Amino acid sequence: MEHADVLVVGGGPAGAACAAAVRRARPDADVLVLDRSVFPRDKVCGDGIAPEALDVLAGLGLDVATLTAGYPTVPRLRLHGPGGTTVERALHRPSSVVPRAVLDGRLLAQVLDRGVRFRQHTVREVTVHADHVEVDGRFRAGVLVGADGAESVVRRALGLAGNSPDRLAVAIRGYAPVLTGAEGVQVVTTTEQRWPAYAWSFPLGDGRANVGYGELVSGGVTRAELVAGLQRMLPGVEPEGLRAHRLPLSTGRPRLPDGRVLLAGDAQSLINPLTGEGIFYAVLSGALAGEAAAHGARAGQVHRRLLRRRLGGHLRSSGVASQLSRWPVLMEAVVRAAREDQRAFDDVVALGLADGRLTARTLAGTVRRLR
């Protein structure tokens, strides 16, 4: 049986950030990452990276300039409200758009350069003992971190149910020529039809854009309807490489268990319910899991406390905003408020893409636009 101090299942952003955090806290720690794929590999995603996510990685000592090299920043965001209102403004800090086939490989490579080990392995069984955790009778560690995505094997091994359909989204994504007039602009568009649903176009800087469309699973949407929704909301777009994926929203996240097994990123249902953004949550929750891993049998309790301290207020705000967003008229009022006030625009972006909160300023502006 192969031994490690910390075993990380999943080599994506959450798992890589976790491994980097362990090594930063304990340079002598033996950290082993397991993933069923070899890297680089593609991952269905919008490819957008908020600057706050890069801040987390920089804080772990990673070279973020190398991670985003070759992909220019995107300085503007355009929002289309469900009632037709449009706002386009400069972002407080520009975002990046890097294909996951590039980003994840670069990120894991940097982590491996810091002494983390990697094995290609598909995890099937997790067994928790009083003083260690075993995986498939082949690997043994003091702490196990499940960063293995929306269909997490580790989460199922803990007996934690998946999200209910009203707290689970499904999206389809492909690549297409950038929209006319949208080079350097992230575009998010909504509509009252099949609400709540939205489409996006995020430019890569090479003439292409990541385009997609998503809505709640509870609406009973089919793949054909996802494709139709994308074509309806982004007319004329003919994407290649369309793939669908499920998004477990943070409004359905489980209570993290005590003990030696932790969850991070999508495995913990950390997907922003307003935008479907998950990379910021992934790297932050992974980094906090790496910090907690040093506590052995108390790792789960410590990780829960760290997440509550760092994200508790934001997750409460995004949960409330998600409930309010079920009414298109409210979302239209939010877009109007953002159109008239740069500060309200910045608040909305921070709530949807990072760790912002509902502010009195934005709420007051929304109420005024409802009158």
Task: Say what the pLDDT of residue 195 is.
Answer: 87
Contact 78, 349 (CB under 8 A): no
pLDDT, mean of residues 289-305 = 96
Q: Calculate the average pLDDT of the chain.
A: 95
Which CATH number is associated with domain 2-71+95-164+250-320? 3.50.50.60
Confidence bin at 371 (pLDDT 50/70/90): low
Contact 181, 236 (CB under 8 A): no
Task: Say what the pLDDT of residue 166 is.
Answer: 94
- Directed axis angle between helix 51-59 and helix 13-25, to 10°? 30
Q: Which fold has domain 168-247?
A: D-Amino Acid Oxidase; Chain A, domain 2 (3.30.9)
Each residue of 20-49: pLDDT tens digit? Answer: 999 999 999 999 999 999 999 999 999 999
Residue 78, CA distances (Å) to 178, 205, 255, 345 in order = 14, 16, 35, 10
Confidence bin at 362 (pLDDT 50/70/90): confident
Comparing 263-267, 277-281, 311-315, 330-334, which segment has the lowest mean pLDDT? 330-334
Residue pointed to by tokens 């934005």: 362
pLDDT, mean of residues 213-241 = 94
| Tokens linked to 292 | 């907690």
Segments making up each domain of the chain, as ranges:
2-71+95-164+250-320, 168-247, 327-370
Task: Say what the pLDDT of residue 98 is.
Answer: 98
Q: How far apart are CA 287 and CA 214, in angstroms?
A: 28
Instruction: Note the Cα 317 to chain centre separation in Å.
Output: 17
Contact 283, 10 (CB under 8 A): no
Each residue of 144-184: pLDDT tens digit? Answer: 999 999 999 999 999 999 999 999 999 999 999 999 999 99
Task: Say what the pLDDT of residue 365 is.
Answer: 77
pLDDT, mean of residues 349-370 = 87
Task: Say what the pLDDT of residue 356 is.
Answer: 96
Task: Say what the pLDDT of residue 97 is.
Answer: 98
**Cis, peptide link before residue 257, omega less than 30° from 0:** no
Each residue of 103-124: pLDDT tens digit? Answer: 999 999 999 999 999 999 999 9
Percent of the chain with pLDDT over 90: 92
Instruction: Note the Cα 339 to chain centre separation in Å.
Output: 26
